[in-house]
Amino acid sequence: MARPIFATINLGALKHNLAVARGHAPRSKAFAVVKANAYGHGLARAARALREAEGYALLELEDAVALRDAGCRQRILLLEGFFEPGELPLLAAHHLGAVVHNRDQLRILRHLPAGAALDVFLKINTGMNRLGFTAAEFPDALRALQSNPGVAQVTLMTHFANADELRGVQWQMEVFDRLANGVKLPRSLANSAAIFRYAETHADWVRPGIMLYGCSPFADRIGTEIGLVPAMTLESRIIAVQRLKRGDTLGYGGLFTAERDLRVGVVACGYADGYPRHARNGTPIMVEGTMTRTLGRISMDMLCADLTDVPGAQVGSRVVLWGEGVPVERVAEAAGTIGYELLCGLAPRVPVRERE
Ligand SMILES: *Cc1c(COP(=O)(O)O)cnc(C)c1O
């Protein structure tokens, strides 16, 4: 028997979550964001489940080429564009669209052959201050692209810094609207949070990422509270049971001391599987369908669960680390991070199964 840990990817959940995005932005086309191996869910399977999307967005060139080679006909957008001139022939040959966000890329584009027909997403920095042309640089950048015979379609794009928070998008929308006003080009602005909260950002193309995987983009709501279904469930089993006496400590560093006699289940899952090492004592975990808590430090291959409320638990009992029944958002919160990081951090050593 193999080590009992595995992740299940629910393909129906991916489809459902895309439909939720469409429900919120019914007049927009969607780039399903599948960067980082589809947020850890597996690029090929996620793309298959999300094939109703009009496009895919990611930033790994090899993955984009693999999608095309696998027969994908949809638009494919490279979210950081290209990094050197040598990549341009590959982009043209596979019809990959590119975000263009800086002047070096504009310079490289001058070498684009006239018939290349590259689709460009011109990224405007409206306040995120990571990628994109400033308001002052924008007119020149737009002119350079529109006069480039190798460029086919230009789409205006920006990215929001606070769509999931109180500060919102209005302050960035003002900058975007002022620049885009009167420019008759398609637009793409919204990530998951903006899809839920700000209809005025939906425009021609939305870019849902985290919501497709069933995880909430908001700190104060979990995915199931906003109509999403978790796509990844990480589960394992108990491989040993220990009886601690009052005063006994558990695991590395003795982080947990038993205040009374209790039973502890040792679970085959650790940080080398992608479970967060910083998950504190008391992180939610499910054993045999009952919610309980982790105890002690997370180690490389194991973690421990309190079996006080699960008297029937024994070696072989099923444990859910996150996913159906255990919101990944809650585990992330207990580890001082966000669901995004846990999902895309699923370790390669964890076998993956799929279900419809
Ligand atoms: C990752 C990413 C998205 C998706 O963001 P979510 O918060 O996961 O919906 C959208 N746009 C860009 C440019 C991105 O890099």
Here the CATH number for the domain that contains residue 338 is 2.40.37.10
The model's pTM is: 0.97
* 211 CA distance to ligand 1 middle (Å): 10
Split at pLDDT 50, 70, 90, the class of 22 is: very high
Per-residue pLDDT, averaged over 132-140, amounts to 97
116 within a domain of the structure (yes/no): yes
Here the CATH number for the domain that contains residue 93 is 3.20.20.10
Query: Is any ligand 1 atom within 6 A of the Cβ of residue 294?
Result: no
CB-ligand 1 contact for 24 (6 Å cutoff): no
Whole-number average pLDDT of the chain: 97
60 CA distance to ligand 1 centroid (A)? 14
Q: Tell whether ligand 1 has an atom less than 6 A from the beta carbon of residue 79.
A: yes
Examine residue 6 and state whether it is found in any structural domain, yes or no.
no
CA of 164, closest atom in ligand 1: 7
Residue 245: the pLDDT is 97
Same domain, 102 and 171: yes
For ligand 1, what atom is nearest to the CA of residue 99? 13
Over residues 105-116, mean pLDDT: 92
Among protein residues, the one whose CA lies closest to atom 6 of ligand 1: 209
Measured over the CA atoms of residue 170, residue 209, residue 188 and residue 158, the dihedral's sign is: positive
**Residue 4 belongs to a domain:** no
Closest approach atom of ligand 1 to CA 211: 9
Q: Find out whether the beta carbon of 46 lies less than 6 Å from any atom of ligand 1.
A: no
Alpha helix segments (H runs only) across the chain: 11-24, 35-39, 43-49, 61-69, 88-93, 103-109, 138-146, 170-180, 192-197, 328-334, 339-344
User: Among 18, 33, 165, which is best to mutate for testing ligand 1, by the most ligand atoms less than 8 A from CB?
Assistant: 33
- 133 and 191: one domain? yes
Atom of ligand 1 nearest to the CA of 59: 15
Q: Which residues neighbour 147 within 8 Å (Cβ) at sequence distance 6 or greater?
A: none
| 8-state DSSP, 329 | H
Question: Which residue out of 125, 172, 205, 207 has the highest number of ligand 1 atoms within 8 Å of its CB and is therefore the one to mutate?
Answer: 207
Measure the CA angle with vertex 93, ends 32 and 152; round to 5°: 70
- Residue where one domain finishes, among candidates 217, 248, 282: 217
Q: Which atom of ligand 1 is nearest to the CA of 39?
A: 8
Q: Say yes or no: 22 and 103 in one domain.
A: yes
- Do residues 175 and 288 share a domain? no
Residue 3 placed within a domain: no
- Specify whether 166 is located in the same domain as 255: no
Which residue range(s) make up the domain with 130?
11-217
Contact at 8 Å (CB) between 99 and 75? no
Q: Are residues 46 and 190 in the same domain?
A: yes
Residues 212 and 245 in one domain: no
Within-domain flag for 32: yes
In a shared domain, residues 73 and 209: yes
Please indicate whether residue 210, judged by its CB atom, sits closer than 6 Å to ligand 1.
yes
Residues β-bridged to residue 265? 241, 305
Q: Which of 79, 100, 157 to mutate to test the pocket of ligand 1 (most atoms within 8 A of CB)?
A: 79
Q: Are residues 101 and 204 in the same domain?
A: yes
Q: How far is the CA of 294 from the centre of ligand 1 (A)?
A: 31
Does 227 map to a domain?
no
Task: Give the integer Cα–Cα distance in Å for 155 and 187.
Answer: 5
Give yes or no for residue 208 CB within 6 A of ligand 1.
Answer: yes
Determine the Cα–Cα distance for residues 134 and 283; give it in Å rounded to an integer: 43
pLDDT at residue 310, as a whole number:
97
| Predicted confidence (pLDDT) per residue in 64-105, tens digit | 999 999 999 999 999 999 999 999 999 999 999 999 999 999
Ligand 1 pocket residue status of 209, Cβ below 6 Å? yes
Q: Is any atom of ligand 1 closer than 6 Å to the C-beta of 192?
A: yes
* pLDDT at residue 254 in the model: 85
Q: Do 178 and 248 reside in the same domain of the chain?
A: no
How many structural domains is the chain composed of?
A: 2
2 belongs to a structural domain:
no
**Which residues of 63-219 form beta strands (DSSP E)?**
75-78, 97-100, 118-123, 151-157, 187-188, 205-206
Q: Are 66 and 207 part of one and the same domain? A: yes
Which residues carry out catalysis?
A: 35, 252
Chain segment 174-232, per-residue pLDDT in tens: 999 999 999 999 999 999 999 999 999 999 999 999 999 999 999 999 999 999 999 99
Q: Residue 40: name the closest of 330, 234, 192, 284 by CA.
A: 234
Last residue of a domain, which of 217, 252, 281?
217
Domain assignment present for 226: no
141 and 246 both lie in a single domain: no
Name the domain boundary from 187, 217, 247: 217
